[in-house]
Structure 1
Amino acid sequence: MTRTARRALASVALLALTASAAAAQTAASTGAKTASPAVACGGDLATFLQGVKAEAVAKGVPADVADRALAGAAINEKVLSRDRTQGVFKQTFTEFSKRTVSKSRLDIGQQKMKEYADVFARAEKEFGVPAPVITAFWAMETDFGAVQGDFNTRDALVTLSHDCRRPEMFRPQLIAAIEMVQHGDLDPATTTGAWAGEIGQVQMLPEDIIAYGVDGDGDGHVNLKKSSPDAILTAAKFIQSLGYKAGQPVIQEVSVPEQLPWEKTGLQPGMKASDWFALGVKPRNGDTAFGNLEASLVLPQGRKGVAFLTYPNFNVYLEWNQSFIYTTSAAYFATRLGGAPTYEGGNPEPGLDDTGMKALQSKLQTLGHDVGKIDGILGSGTRAALQKEQLRLGRPADGWATLELLNAL
C-alpha cells in the first residue's frame, strides 16, 4: 500500500502478523492446528460474495444495491501480482526528489493553486491546511489527476479481500465501496483506480472517502476522480484528521556544523528546534520562530548532504505514506510551492547499491540488530542499527550507508 490510511492499515496488518506468529508458535509447541483467519476469505468466490453481501446488508445497505455492487465481480490476477511485488523506494532522496519535484510539476502546481484559489482558501479556513501542502500531495499521487490508475476498484477490493494474505485490511474497504455505490459515488462496473483500491486525484480508500469526503462543487456527490474541488477539500479534511496543526511548519532546510551529536539525528524525539539552533544548526531561510516546537534533524544522505529539521506536522506525512523518501520529498515539494528555493544538496558520500545494502543489512542482522526484511532499502530500522554501529566504531553516527562503513563492519 502506498496511499492514504496506510498507518492504520499497516497497524492492522502488523497485528494480524503478530497474532498469526503467536498462534503458529503456540501450535508448534502444543501440536494444535493453527486458527483460521479472523476475517472470512478464500474458497468459492460466489460463497464469499454472499458473505460480503450479508455484511453490507447488516450495515444498512439495501440488498438490491449490494447485489448490483457485486454483480459480475471477479478476481484480478494482476492485482495479486502487484500485491506480491510492491514497488519500493530504493532511490536516494536526491534522485527521487529531483524526479518528482520537477519544474513542470511546480509550474502546474502554481497554476492549480491560482485556478482553485477560492477552494484552497476554503480548505485552509475550514481545515487549517494550506494550499501548498494539498497541492504537493495532489501532484505526487496522480500528477493532478492525470494518472489515477486503471484497475477496476470493486474487483481490486474483491480480489484483495478474498485473498487470505491481508483480508483484515481490505474487506472493510470493500464494504465501504458498496456503501459508496449506495450513495451514488461509485459505479462498480466503471470506477477505476489504483491496484489496492485507492480512488481519485488524491488516491483515497473508500472508508476514508466516506469518513472525510467533502462535496466541494455542490453537486450532491463526492467524486474524487472528476471533481478537483471535491479532491482538494476531501484531502484537506483527511490531512486535518491525521493531526495537522495550522500555522506550524512541516520541514525546514538547514545547514549543519562540522561537529554535532550525530547519534541524535534521525526521526527520534527528545529535541526542540531551539536545541538544534544552539548546537549551530541554521535554518536556510533564517526563520527561528518555531524554536519551541519539537524537531528532528534528518539527513537523507548523511551529514554531508542536504539537511532538514522536521516538525510535528511531518508526522502527518508519515501517516499518509510511510516511506521516508516519499514523505521528505512531498514535504520539500510543499515548501517549494510556498516559495522556498531548491535545496542545497551538499556533497554526500556515495551510498551503497542494492547488493551492498543487502550485504550491510545482513551484517547488521548478524551483529544482533533488527533491521526487518533484507530488502536493500535504507529504512528507519536499518538507519537506527547503522547509527549504533557507527557510534561503536567511533564514527559520526549519521545513519548513512557507505562502502567504507560496510568494509569496516
Structure 2
Amino acid sequence: MRFLSLVFATTLAPLTAFAQCGGNFSSFTESMKNEAVNAGYEPALVRRFFANVRQDPKVLKADRAQGVFQKPFIDFTRHLISQNRINRGQTMSQKYDAIFRRIESTYGIDRGVLLAFWAFETDYGSFQGDFNTLNALVTLAHDCRRPDLFRPQVFAALELYKNGDFDPNTTTGAWAGEIGMVQMLPGDILENGVDADGDGHVRLKTSAPDALMSGAKMLSSFGWKASEPWLQEVTVPANMDLSKTGSNQKLSINDWQAMGVVPRSGTWEARDTEASLILPQGHKGPAFIAYPNFDVYFEWNQSFTYVLTAAYFANRLEGDPVYQAGNPEQGLSGAQMKQLQKALQSKGHDVGKVDGILGAKTRIAVQKEQKRLGLPADAWPTPALLQKL
C-alpha cells in the first residue's frame, strides 16, 4: 500500500474553509458538497458524485492495523519476494518491453524499479483492491487521524469524475483510496496520469502501459535522477565507525571507499555523488549504499522497510544476487519496540508515534543512545539496548 502523496494537499483543495472532520457522517458529507459547489462545481454534478457515498468501517480497521511494517528487513523481504514474483517480473518485462523502453528513454527510470512497485502494490495487476474508492476517501477524510491528507483526494476524485475518468459507484481500489496497477491516488492521477496506449483515457486499472508510464512520470516528478542508481549492496569492515551510518547521513563514495566499504560485486555505481550507508538489521546483517534516488522512494511510501525492500527487489529484477543476510543480533518484538520508543521519548528523543515500528526517527534516536552507552552505533535496537535504557 502506497502511503499518501502530499502533492495535492494544497493545490487541489477548494479555497473555502475545510469541512471539519468527525461528527455526524451525513453532516460531514453535506459540508463537503457545499464546499465543492462553492469551489465552482455544478450542483447537479456534485449531487450525483456524492449520492451513494457511505462510511466504510473496514477502511478504518485497515488503517489501524498495518502490522506487516513491524517485520524486520530480512523477514519482510522473504515475505514479499518469491521466485515466482521474480519469474513473473521477467515475463512482464518481456511482454511490455516496448513501454519500458519508452519509459527508460523518456524518464531514465530502469524497468526493475517499476516492476518492483507493480509486484508489491498489486502483484502485477492481479489484485488491485476491492474497496469502493470514494467511500474509502470520504471515510478517511471524515476520520480525524489524517483528514488533511485524504480530504484533497476527494476533490481530486471529483475532478476525475467530471472528466469521465472516475465512477463513484464502481471505481474500486485499495483501502486508502489508491487506484490501479501501481496504486496511485486520484490527485496523483490528475497530476501524472499518462495515456500511454493512445485510447484517449488514463486507465490505470486496465491498461498496463498507462499505469507504468504514469508511475514513471510520478517518480520523475518526485525528483528521480535519470539513469542514476538507487541502491547497491556492499560489505563493511569490522572496525568501521558505525555512527556514520544511517539514511540521515551522507558521505561521498570516495569517503566510504577510504573507510573500507566495498561493493559486494562489480564496481561502484557512482563515485561522484554522496550516499548513505544503511544497515537495516545492524552491523552483523546486510549492508547497502543508498544513492540519492533512494530518497525518492520515500515520496511513494514512507515505510523504511518497504522502501528498502522495493529498492532491493528492483536490483534483483535487474539481475543482482540475493543479499548476504549475515547473522544479525536478535531484534525486538512489537511490544518491546513500543517500550523502547517510550524509553527514548523519556530521554528527550523525538520518535514520532509510539507504534512499535522501527522508523527513521526511532533509528536516529537508537543510534544516539548506542553511541552514548558505548554500544555499536548501528541503529539496530536489541534487547541489550532496551535493558540498558
TM-score, normalization by structure 2: 0.92
Q: State the match for 1:63 in structure 2.
A: 43
What are structure 1's unaligned runs of at least 5 residues? 13-36
Q: Secondary structure at the match of 1:243?
A: coil
Is 1:95 the counterpart of 2:79? The answer is no
Structure 1 match to 2:200? 220
**C-alpha distance in 1, partners of 2:130/2:61?**
15
Structure 2 match to 1:239: 219
**1-structure distance, mates of 2:160, 2:373:** 56
- 1:392 matches 2:369: no
Q: Which amino acid aligns with 1:323?
A: S
SS at match of 1:377: coil
Residue 107 of structure 1: how far off its partner (Å)? 0.6
* Deviation by residue 1:197-251 (Cα, 9 ceiling, x = unmatched): 1111111110110110001211111111111111000000001001000111000
The secondary structure found in structure 1 opposite 2:288 is: strand
Aligned-partner Cα distance in 2 for 1:270–1:313: 13
Matched, 1:380 2:360: yes
Of the three residues 256, 280, 287, the one matched with 2:236 is 256
In 2, the alpha carbon distance for the partners of 1:403 and 1:43 equals 43
The SS at the match of 2:260 is: coil
Structure 1 residues 368 and 150 mapped into 2: Cα distance closer, same or farther (>3 Å)? same
Taking structure 1 as reference, are residues 405 and 158 closer, same or farther at Cα in structure 2, changes over 3 Å only? closer
Equivalence for 2:61: 81
CA distance in 2, matches of 1:82, 1:289: 39
- Structure 2 Cα separation of the partners of residues 54 and 217 of structure 1: 37
State the distance in 1 between where 2:290 and 2:266 align.
15
Q: Distance in 1 between matches of 2:25 and 2:355?
A: 34
Shift of 1:7: 5.5
Distance apart, 1:145 and its partner CA: 1.1
Per-residue deviation, 1:59: 4.8
Is 1:153–1:197's contact at 8 Å kept on the other side of the alignment? Answer: yes
Please say if residues 272 and 293 of structure 1, whose CA atoms lie closer than 8 Å, have aligned partners that are also in contact: yes
Q: Which amino acid aligns with 1:237?
A: K
Alignment partners' CA distance in 1, 2:50 and 2:31: 11
- Name the residue aligned to 1:210: 190
Identify which of 158, 161, 178 aligns with 1:178: 158
Aligned to 2:2: 3
- Distance 1:48-1:373 versus aligned 2 partners, 3 A rule: closer
Any idea what the Cα deviations from partners look like across 1:69-101, whole Å, max 9, x if unmatched? 222111112222323444451111000011212
Q: 1:355 to 1:184 in 2, by over 3 A?
A: same
Q: 2:90 aligns with which of 96, 110, 128?
A: 110
What one-letter code is carried by the residue in structure 1 that aligns with 2:350?
D
SS at structure 1 position matched to 2:282: coil
- Check conservation: 1:45, 1:162, Cα contact below 8 A: yes
Q: Is the 8 A contact 2:232 2:263 kept in 1?
A: yes
| TM-aligned CA distance change 1:42 to 1:306, over 3 Å | closer
Change (3 A) 1:45 1:323: closer
Structure 1 pair 200–81 and aligned structure 2 pair: CA distance change class (3 A): same
Matched, 1:200 2:200: no
Give percent identity, aligned residues only.
52
- Whether the 8 Å contact between 1:127 and 1:240 is mirrored in structure 2 is yes
Aligned to 2:382: 402
Shift of 1:47: 4.6
Please state whether the residue corresponding to 2:292 is helix, strand or coil.
Answer: coil
What is the aligned length? Answer: 383
Q: Are the aligned partners of 2:230 and 2:292 in contact in 1 as well (CA < 8 Å)?
A: yes
Residue of structure 2 aligned with 1:291, choices 267, 271, 274: 271
What is the CA-CA distance between 1:183 and the residue it aligns to? 1.6
Partner of 1:338: 318
1:333: Cα distance to partner? Answer: 0.5
- Residue 283 of structure 1, CA deviation: 0.6
In 2, distance between residues paired with 1:259 and 1:106? 36
How many angstroms apart in 1 are the aligned matches of 2:6 and 2:328?
31
1:296-335 map, 5 Å? 296-335=276-315
Of the structure 1 ranges 194-203 and 249-258, higher mean CA displacement relative to structure 2 is found in 194-203
Question: CA separation in 2, counterparts of 1:402 and 1:43?
Answer: 43
Query: Secondary structure of the residue that 1:316 maps to in structure 2?
Result: helix
SS state of the match for residue 333, structure 1? helix
Q: In structure 2, how many angstroms separate the alpha carbons of the residues matched to 1:354 and 1:168?
A: 28
Greater than 4 Å deviation, 4+ residue runs = 42-47, 57-60
Q: Deviations over 1:244-271 (max 9, x none)?
A: 0011100000000011111110012341
Q: Is the 8 A contact 1:252 1:310 kept in 2?
A: yes
Matched residue SS, 1:285: coil
TM-score, normalization: structure 1? 0.88
After superposition, residues 267-278 of structure 1 pair within 5 angstroms as 267-278=247-258
SS of residue in 2 equivalent to 1:371: coil
Q: Which amino acid aligns with 1:207?
A: G
Given that 2:19 and 2:32 are in contact with CA atoms closer than 8 Å, whether structure 1 keeps it comes out as no
212-221 vs 231-240, which moves further: 212-221
Task: Give secondary structure in 1 for the equivalent of 2:289.
Answer: strand
Alpha-carbon deviation of 1:126?
A: 1.7
Deviates more, 1:236-245 or 1:163-172: 163-172
CA contact (8 A) 2:229 2:269 kept: no
Contact 2:19 2:31 (8 Å CA) reproduced = no
Hey, what's the Cα distance between the residues in 1 that align with 2:141 and 2:356? 29
Q: Comparing 221-230 with 282-291, which one deviates more in the overlay?
A: 282-291
Matches within 5 A, 1:123-202: 123-202=103-182
Distance change in 2, residues 1:7/1:396 (3 Å) = farther
2:203 partner letter: N
Deviation at 1:181, TM superposition (A): 1.3
- Residues 300-309 or 120-129, more deviating: 120-129
> Which SS does the other structure have where 2:33 is aligned?
helix
